[in-house]
Structure 1
Amino acid sequence: MGLRMNSIEEELRYLEKWFIIAVLIGVVSGFAAIIFHLAIDYSIQLFLKWLAGYEPPKPGMESSIPIIPENKLLLFLIPPLGGLLSGFLVFKFAPEAEGHGTDAIIESFHYKEGIVRSRVPLIKLIASALTIGSGGSAGKEGPVAQIGGGFGSFLAQLLKLNPRDRRIALIIGLGSGIGAIFKAPFGGAIFASEVLYMMDFEPLSIPPAFIASLVSYVIMGFFEGWDHVFWAPDLASKVYVLYDPPTLTFFALLGILNGAMGILYVKIFYSVRDLFRKLKKVPRTLKPAIGGLVTGLIGVFYPQVLESSYGWLQMLIRGDFTYMPLQTLILLPFLKILATAFSIGSGGSGGVFAPALVIGGSLGALIWHFASSILPGYDVPIAAYVIIGMMSFFGGVGKVPIATMLMVSEMTGDYELFAPSLIATTLSYIITGNFTIYESQVFSRAESPAHGESKVGLLRIIYNKLKVEDPSLLVKVRAKDLMVEAMAKLNCKSKIAQVLDLMKKYPYRVYPVVDDNNRFMGFIALEDIVIRAPRRSNIEIMLLPIERGVTVREDDTLATVLEKMIENEIDKIVVIGEDFELKGIITLKEILKLLVSTKIRVKIR
């Protein structure tokens, strides 16, 4: 009871510490989201409507009909103009504002102690409004994450918070910005915690992120209204058909397709990015304009790829194919990937979330077409497929399945799809594997410099590096080549008093335990012996808690050794022979010695 009370008191102190900071971050993020939203609207009016004569459709309850100019050649010229202005602004004043924003915040969290230069949020806001407003295929998520996160970092530096708290303030700002701009306070807060890792969360950020995200959402709602970003039909009356075996099968197919397309998205995006970085003779300020030319060229023939494309996505949710014939729908995911890669990968400023929703939503519409064609009278609304496509595509490619399902549910108001979406999102997440659109993500907190790389985290980095640089080493080297003698093994029949001298000589955290025939029995922790030493020094080791331990055979490969250590989250493993005889032990130290001997460098970042 006392421990529980202490825990509650600690949580209350934690909330008291962060409440005012979270509210301040939420207020600024909310107003910044409003300004950013208006800046994009005015930019679209200036570049696309007034200069090019193109008015894209809008999402929401009162979605509009697109106005496409007769002279589409103007659409070819406007994106490079926006890219030119954006490129000059970014590379002249804040080069770190290029690209897709969210990744820059993730990088700052892991590698820069949560520090963002104070000028970055303003430059990011203007540059992104220019990129998106001129037709660049990008979204609001990255910019608003960098704007909110940038203020969180600024406030933390102003208050002279330590690096740990500065990082938390940074991602509180990220979450509150997302929560405001997409009117998704719950999903935004979870997104901030989940997006940092491929398979983990940052739990300390969640309570204050909820507060900040709620505050920013309320401010956005008062100024922009409380309607969802997308209008979607009420699917409550169709719940019974969403769980039919054929429909669930099609959702699974959608998840598989989204996983495959997610890998393509990542590969193309970063291939284009790397291509532009290799163009050393081209001034950086001009590269976004070149990317804009490619986007504009696509836009001349398929204006559906320009800007965020949310209005076109809304038309798919409504089932309106007036401007979206099947042949266009088939091409749209591929064209949107290309347009996004050239708009952002060239150095333009914008987010990757909106394009991902459009790609996933259009793939969902294609699967719905397929289902309708083979099942006459199929009455599941297309909205179900489009929305689940949105969830599953970004859930997989962004490695944020939970946050994405929450955010899209909040953006559309269709919470009935949360459960059916689990099938598609899980499959997409599994298929994309280590492919992620956020290259600064690390696997888990164990690999993050923000938490100090653990030994297990370092083992994972070593394993991944060897798979790329010297895969033959993983097969050639055997456990017997790495193992060393276990100098500090304890006999199970020894008494505590008898092993204390050995433990003083070898002060390890755990010790291997063997029987009289040198057969490995497991590991015993130092604290389990020390705690009992003063009072029960005559007790035998075998009567203390002994963990079973993980073992490998002498002929097992280095790959097997590393896989078992990573899977079981241990930094030492026992090598056994026949009849479980203890042959030796392998620790991180032995693996690092191997890397030194082979001259393979392990670089964390």
Structure 2
Amino acid sequence: MKIFPSSEYKQIIRYSLYWLVASIVIGLISGLASTLIFTCFDLATKVRIAYPWLIFFLPFVGLGIGFLFYRYGTPIERGTHLLIDEIHEPRAFIPKRMSPLIFFTAILTQFFGGSAGREAPAVQLSGALTDHIAQLLRVSKDNRKIFLISSIGSGFSAIFGLPLAGAIYGLEITALGSLRYSAVFPCFVSSIVAASVPEFFHILHPHRFYKIASFPEFNLSVILSLIVAGLIFGLVTRFFIVAIHTVGDLFAKYVTFMPFRPMLGGIIIMLLTLLVGHQHYNGLGIPTIIASFQVPLPMTDFINKTVFTAITLGSGFKGGEITPLFFVGTTLGNGLSQFLPLPLSLLAGLGLVSLFAGASKAPLTSIVLAIELFGTSVSIYAVITCLLAYLFSGNCGLYRIHKPDYSEYK
């Protein structure tokens, strides 16, 4: 056997060059798309806060969004699931209308007071644009799958400014129990490139303000507290996901005409906003997420945000679940600090990553996310709560991916 066989290294060099160029292109597309989403959401939030009466137009906007997806939505309304399905069961290229529809409807949801995140529009826009490029370049079926995996990871990376978590996210949520190692190199390169694009435009990601003030000495009391927290995080994750699915099922069952679903959802969100007397639960809720690392907040915040998000997304408005999930996780952790002997900021941070672990069914991504957000000191704490939340959230998740199977333990 030759030490350095020339034919093998020619293949390695060709593979590396091909995917280096392709990954840079995917990263730039995802980075620019996410920068656009981030900027527009930021502007929409500022305008909505300045003019709170915009909430009264949410039902009319819902009617318009419902009609657009009634007329043009198939199969676009499946969102991120469509990208994942095209990786495992490819049928056709992503419809070109997905890009403008997802972009404008997500911005409108945010502008008029719906409770939804920006990560799903960023990932979906990145995936749709990347698939258009793959179609133009006539890439092979296998390479197209890697293009889509990389676009999901790089979209996540760019919108949150977290390249390592983004790369592993793209690999893990598309794995379906079998990690595609051929996508590792493209996913990491595209995620690193994508994360650098918002920085070039001086985008300041909110996570820079997520600070854990202190880490307690590891002892039996701390371990037991972490176990209790992890169990609660898992159960609340399940409540969050079931709430969204249940509301969606109820709207589909009792409101047969699709355009009327988000219109009714908009009316309910408008009335709830008037009832609580503020808009802390509308939109992204970034100020509350930041505050949950610093000062005690009402224990009911996580429940209220779950309700607002479930009605928004369940009725048919567009946006992501992850940023609202971060809100629910940090405020839940903040509330648990009243009962558990752990620092408030630590529980807020663990709530953020643990609910993500349970909802995304991506525990490895969540642990890397914790380290990338809070440093290596959080690792052992995050491992305990993330794995428990992953297990005790059960077999329901945000995506159609590999989930824990407990059937043999009946």
TM-score higher than 0.5: yes
Deviations 1:97-135 (A, max 9, x none): 436x32232223223347211221221111111112222
Counterpart of 1:91, as a letter, is Y
**Secondary structure of the corresponding residue to residue 423 of structure 1:** helix
Deviations 1:207-229 (A, max 9, x none): 10111111111111111346653
**Aligned match for 1:151, one of 94, 117, 129:** 129
Residue 17 in structure 1 maps to residue 49 in structure 2: no
Residue 40 in structure 1 maps to residue 41 in structure 2: yes
Deviations 1:28-49 (A, max 9, x none): 1111111111221232234442
**Aligned match for 1:106, one of 84, 101, 110:** 84
Which residue does 1:554 correspond to in 2?
none
Q: Give yes or no for contact 1:40–1:130 (8 Å, CA) kept in 2.
A: no
Identity percentage of aligned residues: 24
**Aligned partners of 1:399, 1:315: CA distance in 2, in Å?**
27
Q: Give yes or no for contact 2:76–2:98 (8 Å, CA) kept in 1.
A: yes
Q: Give yes or no for contact 2:212–2:346 (8 Å, CA) kept in 1.
A: no
- Shift of the 130–443 alpha-carbon distance from structure 1 to 2, 3 Å rule, reads same
**Aligned partners of 2:315, 2:71: CA distance in 1, in Å?**
16
**Aligned match for 2:259, one of 263, 279, 285:** 285
Which residue does 2:156 correspond to in 1?
178
Count of aligned pairs between the two proteins: 407
**Secondary structure of the corresponding residue to residue 318 of structure 1:** coil
Q: Give yes or no for contact 2:127–2:152 (8 Å, CA) kept in 1.
A: yes
Residue 84 in structure 1 maps to residue 84 in structure 2: no
Q: Give yes or no for contact 2:206–2:286 (8 Å, CA) kept in 1.
A: no
Residue 441 in structure 1 maps to residue 410 in structure 2: no
Q: Which has the larger radius of gyration?
A: 1
Which residue does 1:365 correspond to in 2?
334
When normalised by structure 1's length, the TM-score is 0.62
Residue 389 in structure 1 maps to residue 348 in structure 2: no
Which residue does 1:309 correspond to in 2?
285
- Shift of the 359–257 alpha-carbon distance from structure 1 to 2, 3 Å rule, reads same
- Shift of the 4–133 alpha-carbon distance from structure 1 to 2, 3 Å rule, reads farther
**Aligned partners of 1:289, 1:200: CA distance in 2, in Å?**
41
Residue 271 in structure 1 maps to residue 240 in structure 2: no
After TM superposition, list the pairs within 5 Å mapping 1:400-419 onto structure 2. 400-410=362-372, 412-419=373-380
Which residue does 1:343 correspond to in 2?
312
When normalised by structure 2's length, the TM-score is 0.90
Q: Give yes or no for contact 1:113–1:166 (8 Å, CA) kept in 2.
A: no
**Secondary structure of the corresponding residue to residue 401 of structure 2:** coil
Instruction: Please state how far the C-alpha of 1:428 moved relative to its aligned partner.
Output: 0.9
- Shift of the 119–442 alpha-carbon distance from structure 1 to 2, 3 Å rule, reads same
Q: Give yes or no for contact 1:255–1:393 (8 Å, CA) kept in 2.
A: no
Q: Which runs of 5+ in 1 are unaligned?
A: 53-73, 373-379, 445-459, 468-558, 564-605
- Shift of the 267–353 alpha-carbon distance from structure 1 to 2, 3 Å rule, reads same
**Aligned partners of 1:268, 1:293: CA distance in 2, in Å?**
18
Instruction: Please state how far the C-alpha of 1:95 moved relative to its aligned partner.
Output: 4.0
- Shift of the 200–339 alpha-carbon distance from structure 1 to 2, 3 Å rule, reads farther
**Aligned partners of 1:257, 1:24: CA distance in 2, in Å?**
42
Instruction: Please state how far the C-alpha of 1:279 moved relative to its aligned partner.
Output: 3.8
**Secondary structure of the corresponding residue to residue 307 of structure 1:** coil
Which residue does 1:261 correspond to in 2?
236
- Shift of the 230–48 alpha-carbon distance from structure 1 to 2, 3 Å rule, reads same
Counterpart of 2:128, as a letter, is G
- Shift of the 157–296 alpha-carbon distance from structure 1 to 2, 3 Å rule, reads same
**Aligned partners of 2:65, 2:46: CA distance in 1, in Å?**
17
Q: Give yes or no for contact 1:48–1:78 (8 Å, CA) kept in 2.
A: no
Which residue does 1:420 correspond to in 2?
381
After TM superposition, list the pairs within 5 Å mapping 1:125-204 onto structure 2. 125-197=103-175, 199-204=177-182
**Aligned partners of 2:254, 2:391: CA distance in 1, in Å?**
35
Instruction: Please state how far the C-alpha of 1:233 moved relative to its aligned partner.
Output: 3.5
After TM superposition, list the pairs within 5 Å mapping 1:493-512 onto structure 2. none
Q: Give yes or no for contact 1:105–1:170 (8 Å, CA) kept in 2.
A: yes
**Aligned partners of 2:212, 2:240: CA distance in 1, in Å?**
31
Counterpart of 2:385, as a letter, is A
Instruction: Please state how far the C-alpha of 1:13 moved relative to its aligned partner.
Output: 3.3
* Higher strand proportion (structure 1 or 2): 1
Q: Give yes or no for contact 1:361–1:385 (8 Å, CA) kept in 2.
A: yes
- Shift of the 172–264 alpha-carbon distance from structure 1 to 2, 3 Å rule, reads same
Decide which moves more: 35-44 or 164-173.
Answer: 35-44
Which residue does 2:269 correspond to in 1?
295
Q: Which has the higher contact order (CA 8 A, sep 6+)?
A: 2
RMSD of aligned alpha carbons: 2.7
Q: Which runs of 5+ in 2 are unaligned?
A: none
**Aligned partners of 1:186, 1:24: CA distance in 2, in Å?**
18
- Shift of the 273–18 alpha-carbon distance from structure 1 to 2, 3 Å rule, reads same
